[in-house]
Amino acid sequence: MKSSDFTLVLQQQLDVANETNRVLLARIDDLGKTIEELRTELAIANLKREELMSTITSMQEALLEKDADVNKQKRINKGLSKLVSNKSEKHKPSVMTSSEVENKTMPSSSPTKSAYAPKERGNNGVKRKEYFDIETVMEELYPTDKDFNPALARFMKFRDSISYEYIPGKFIKRIRRQYFYSQNGTVYSGKLPAKPLFNSNYDGSFIAGMAQLRYMYTMPVERIVKYFKDNGFELPKSTAHNLLKKAAVLLDNLYNTMRMAVLSDKYMGCDETYAKVLIKEPGKNGLHVKKGYVWVAVAHNLGLVYFFYEDGSRKEEIIFDFLKDYKGTIQSDGLTAYRKLGKQGFPNIMRLPCLQHIKRKFKDCEKDPDAEEIVSLINRLYHNNHLHTIGVDGWTEAKELRFRQKYAPPILDEIQEKLSKITKRPGYIPDSDIYEAVTYMQNEMSDIWNIFTSPNYQLDNNAIERVNRCISLMRHNSLFFGSHAGANRAVIYYSLACSCRQRGINFFEYISDIMNRSATLPPTASIEAYRELLPDKWHKS
């Protein structure tokens, strides 16, 4: 082969190689562009992925907040529906039919007397109101002294002393006419019974009637005044307020004795409820309605109730001060202050929770099968508790305690196991009804066992809830206390009224008797003297 031909072949091969190289470089360039495009697309995809993840996280947070808002709104709606569906709790005091009371006539041997003329006396410059159109009973009080001889005595004068008594639905104007005689230089007269309020015409029964309507039937003073007027007795509103105010002062020693008696009971229930009070706040003009709290303790063994009020405060120091020297058992709801009882600082107190408060939390978890199962387990405790009654059919306290310690532990163990399972289920989130119910019961679980260490401990605090209804009714009917002083006065009456109800005593008869008997006690009377007048020891005189 000629060299020229060989060169031509090489040139052709070189051209082919160059073309191939050019094509490969073009492809490499295209691949580079594709890789760069892929890298760009990958970066864009990563950005989109991050945006999607952020969106998903935001949506999850929004859903949790929405669930919390929905649960909160459900609870609000549930509460409103209960308020709307509640029937009126107003107590309507019955008006008893008045009966005729015969007027006592003067004895035939009495000397001739002038017509009765009401005696005017000073009352801050105001003439006392006289009631001439109501039924009047005349009592004649002659001297009963041993050395008094009516045959030897010369009549001097008589003096009428008036008191107003109240019989439910009926008013009596009682005139006690005292006769005065002189004999051998000595003046003799009929003896008047002691009056509960000094220089007052109103008998203990009159004040008792007002107290019954005000604090047992929660009637405002304005309504009591109207009620009295409708029954023939026109009583000024200011007089009604003053009578209740002065009577509360007379009952103050009895109220202080009530505190000591309640604290002596080894088994008490404690609670607090809110009330509204009209007060003047610093920096504000006029009076304002403020929410305040009334505390209450129920002595289960004695059947006594003690309300107390500390300027409407709900601070835990109030209940701690009340129980600082107490030795015994306290039953309460799950308020933080109560849960501290029985712990460090209160070594002499054992605390019991209220199963009804716990059960109510789970019943509020509507259509939740786990909550319904907890309710069913609590109901089993109640079912067993109601099977026997101490003192009936030979059932003793010892038998009841053995029975409790037999049936309660398996049920409580099952409840604890169920609570643990609920906390691990999907959707168990804070602010949900089931979360609130489970947390509440877990906080109370250690104290629940205490209920079954005695045959006499109750499973709930319902007794004190019933007592608190009087404050609840007051909120509906009277709306608020007129002042802190008015609230302090009210708790005195509520303590006595609810104690009478616990003991099955007629509050009207009790206050009627106590008011008149308290008037005979000297200012230095001992605590023991007042202790005998509390409802658990009182006997009608």
Give me the chain's average pLDDT, please: 85
H or E element in which residue 352 lies: strand 349-352
| Cβ within 8 Å of residue 357, ≥6 positions away | 333, 334, 440, 460, 461
The larger pLDDT score, comparing residue 266 to residue 57, is at 266
Strand pairing class (135-141; 304-308): unpaired
The larger pLDDT score, comparing residue 104 to residue 216, is at 216
Average pLDDT on 363-375 reads 92
**Rounded to whole angstroms, how far apart are CA atoms 189 and 106?**
16
Are the C-beta atoms of residues 200 and 173 closer than 8 Å to each other?
Answer: no
- Confidence band for 1, pLDDT divided at 50, 70 and 90: low
| Cβ within 8 Å of residue 390, ≥6 positions away | 396, 397, 400, 455, 456
2: exposed, middle or buried (C-beta count within 10 Å: 0-12, 13-18, 19+)?
exposed
| Cβ within 8 Å of residue 103, ≥6 positions away | 136, 137, 138
- Confidence band for 79, pLDDT divided at 50, 70 and 90: low
Are the C-beta atoms of residues 418 and 373 closer than 8 Å to each other?
Answer: yes
pTM summary value: 0.72
Q: Is the pLDDT of residue 63 over 80?
A: no
Distance in angstroms between the alpha carbons of the first and the last residue of the chain? 157
pLDDT of 175 reads 94
Dihedral of the CA atoms 439, 443, 446, 447 (nearest 10)?
-120
Concatenated DSSP letters for 403-460? Answer: HHHHHHHHHHHHHHHHHHHHHTSTT--TTSHHHHHHHHHHHHHHHHHHHTTSSS--SS
pLDDT of 342 reads 79
Strand pairing class (135-141; 170-183): parallel
pLDDT of 126 reads 67
| Cβ within 8 Å of residue 345, ≥6 positions away | none
Are the C-beta atoms of residues 273 and 468 closer than 8 Å to each other?
Answer: yes
Q: Which residue has the tokens 């409708």?
A: 230
Q: Which residue has the tokens 């995809």?
A: 45
366: exposed, middle or buried (C-beta count within 10 Å: 0-12, 13-18, 19+)?
exposed
Q: DSSP 3-state helix, strand, coil percentages of the chain (rounded to 5)?
A: 50, 15, 35
> CA neighbours within 13 Å on the CB side: how many for 53?
6
- Report the percentage of the chain scoring pLDDT > 70: 86
Average pLDDT on 211-216 reads 93
- Confidence band for 92, pLDDT divided at 50, 70 and 90: very low
pLDDT of 95 reads 42
Query: Tens digits of per-residue pLDDT, 168-200?
Result: 778 999 999 999 999 999 999 999 988 888 888
Amino acid at 461: N
Average pLDDT on 278-307 reads 90
pLDDT of 57 reads 72
- Paired with 141 in beta bridges are 178
Query: Tens digits of per-residue pLDDT, 411-422?
Result: 999 999 999 999
Q: Is the pLDDT of residue 70 over 60?
A: yes
SS3 285: coil
Query: Tens digits of per-residue pLDDT, 217-268?
Result: 989 999 999 999 998 899 999 999 999 999 999 999 999 999 999 999 999 9
- Confidence band for 32, pLDDT divided at 50, 70 and 90: confident
Are the C-beta atoms of residues 174 and 180 closer than 8 Å to each other?
Answer: no
Q: Which residue has the tokens 């009056």?
A: 195
Specify the range with the lowest mean pLDDT, choosing from 64-68, 102-106, 423-427. 102-106
- Confidence band for 122, pLDDT divided at 50, 70 and 90: low
Query: Tens digits of per-residue pLDDT, 448-476?
Result: 999 999 999 999 999 999 999 999 998 88
Q: Is the pLDDT of residue 81 over 70?
A: no
Query: Tens digits of per-residue pLDDT, 142-177?
Result: 999 999 999 999 999 999 999 888 887 789 999 999
The larger pLDDT score, comparing residue 64 to residue 481, is at 481
Q: Which residue has the tokens 């059919």?
A: 393
SS3 365: coil
Amino acid at 171: F
Q: What is the DSSP letter of 502?
A: H
